[in-house]
Amino acid sequence: MRTSIIRRGPHPVGAHPLSPSGRAPGSPPRGPSPGRPPARGRRPRGRRAAGALLAVAALLLPGCAVSGSTTEVSLAGALPSRTPEALAPYYAQEPRWRECATAGFQCATLRAPLDYGRPGSGDVKLAVARKKATGPGRRLGSLLVNPGGPGGSAIGYLQSYAGVGYPDEVRARYDLVAVDPRGVARSEAVRCLDGARMDAYTRTDVTPDEQRERQALVASFKEFGKGCASRSERVLPHVSTVEAARDMDLVRAALGDRRLTFVGASYGTFLGATYAGLFPARVGRLVLDGALDPSLPARRMNTDQTAGFEAAFASFAKDCVRRSSCPLGRSAAQAGPRLKEFFRALDRAPVPAAKGGRELGEALARTGVIAAMYDEGTWPRLRSALTAAMDERDGSRLLALSDGYYERGADGEYGNLMFANAAVNCLDLPAAFTSPDEVEVALPDFEAASPVFGEGLAWSALNCAYWPVPATGAPRRIEARGAAPILVVGTTRDPATPYRWSEALADQLASGVLLTYDGDGHTAYGRGSTCVDSVIDRYLLTGTPPADGKRCS
C-alpha cells in the first residue's frame, strides 16, 4: 500500500490514501451505476487510508501562530471577512450550467487563482456539478458534498450516489452540489505514473528485509515523486487543503449562498473544518463524518490509524472464525499469526492472480486486506478471497480488492486518486519520516499498534520524505470561533479515522457537537443506523443539532 493514511483506505499519511472516492473498496471507480443507488445503509464512503491516510494533513493556515510544540499550532484568526479586491473577479463569477453527460445533473466550470498569494499569476479550473432540488417544500440552498480522500471525486460521488441516494427530504429541499478539489479528477488532475510504472510501484515490497529491498522501496518513492513533478509541475505546489477550502468559498459565492452547508466524510471532514477555521462567519450546517484530528503530526496520525486497522481486523477475525469457510483458523487468536504467515509466504513466492501474467505478492495482498477493512459489508468477499489465495493458490480475488483500492482499470491504467492523495497529503503535513533509519526506530511503535499491519504501514509512511514540493502545512488546532454549531460524527470502531479523532475535533471546535455511532466501519451516515441518519437529516433540514455527546447504534 502506498499512500498517506486518510482517505478511506489503508495507508499512512503520505503513503496510501484513506478512501477518498466515496465508495467501498473494490467497487466500480464511480460507485454504483446511475439509476441503481445502493440501499440506505450501504452508502459508499471515502476510502483508502493505510498508505495514505486519506490525507489527514493539517496545513498551516494563513494567520496561524506556531508555538514551541509542533502539535500546538492554533488558529490565530480567520481570513478577513471583506473580500480582497484582487479576488473580487473570482467571487463575482456566475456559473454557466449545462447538462452533464450523466442525465439529471448540471455541470459548470469556475476559475480560482492558482496561487492565492498572487491572484494574477494564473488560474486553475474547478469542475462543479449539481442536482437541483426536487421539491416540494421551500428550497434551503445548496448542500456541498465531499466523499474524502484526499483525491476522491466529489462529482463522481454526487452522480453515482448522493444525487439519487441521499434521503428524499434532503434532496427535495437542497440543490446537491459537488466540486472536485483542485488536482482531483475533473479539476486539473494531478498525474504521476503511467499504468506499467504504477503497477511496479504498487508491487514494491513495503516490508523490506535487507538493505537491497530498502533501497528499492526508497527508489520507488523517488520515482513516484519525480513522475508527479514532471507531469503536474504547474499545479503540484498548489493542491493543499487550505487552497481547496478557499476554493469552496468561491463556489459558495457563485451559487448565491450566504453560508456554506456541507457534508464531508473522512478527509472531507478536514476540508470542512479548515473551511470553518478560515471563514467561521460563513459556516451554515456542517456535518463532519469520520473526523480527522488536525492537531496531530503525520507520524502520530499514522500510528493511530494503524491501531484502527488492527481493531477492524480483530472484529473481522471474530466474525470470520465463527464460520466454517474461514481460512484463518478456528479462534480469533489464530487469525493474526496465520495472516502474517500468509504475507511472509507471498513475500517468498507470489501466487498466480489473473490472466496476462499478473501475480499476487505480499504488497498487493496487504493492500487488498486493508481495503476490505473499511466496510464490514466487504468481509464475506475478503473471506472468499483469502480462501482462494491461501488454499487454492488463486490470488485473483484478493488482487481485485487491491485494484479497486488503487482505482486500477481493466485496461491497466489508474485513476487520479492515488496521485492526488499523495500530492495533498505531502503538502498538508511535514513528512512522518525523513529517512529509512527513522522508520527502523519507529517500527516497534507501529508493530505494537498492529502486529498484523504495523510494519507495512510504517514503511509506507516514508513516501513524503522524497516529495518534490516542500510541505506548506503543519499540525494545528482548529477552533473556528463564531461559527454556527458544527456536527462531528464518530464511529467507535472506525479503522481509518479512529473515534478519538472525532472526539478531539469536536472538542477543538468552539461550536462542535459530537454524535457517536457505536459500530464498525468507516463513517456513519447512511450505514443503516436509523438513529444516526435521523439526527443528521434533522440537523440539515432544521439547523438543530443533537445534544452534545448523543450516542446511536
Tell me how far apart the terminal alpha carbons of the chain are, to the nearest angstrom: 31
- Give CA–CA dist 211/507, Å, rounded: 44
Q: Which triple of cell numbers denotes residue 87?
A: 479576488
User: How many alpha carbons fall within 13 Å on the CB side of residue 312?
Assistant: 33
**439, 14 contact by CB (below 8 A):** no
**243, 116 contact by CB (below 8 A):** yes
User: Over the range 60-92, which residues count as b (16 or more CB within 10 Å of their CB) and which as e?
Assistant: bbeebeeeeebeebebeebbeeeeeeebeebee
- Give CA–CA dist 210/219, Å, rounded: 14
- The crossing angle, in degrees rounded to 10, of helices 396-406 and 195-203 is 120
Strand partners, 286: 262, 486
- Give CA–CA dist 211/361, Å, rounded: 19
* Residue 464: C-alpha distances to residues 52, 83, 225, 300 (Å): 10, 34, 9, 15
Q: Which residues belong to the active site? A: 266, 494, 522
- Give CA–CA dist 332/502, Å, rounded: 28
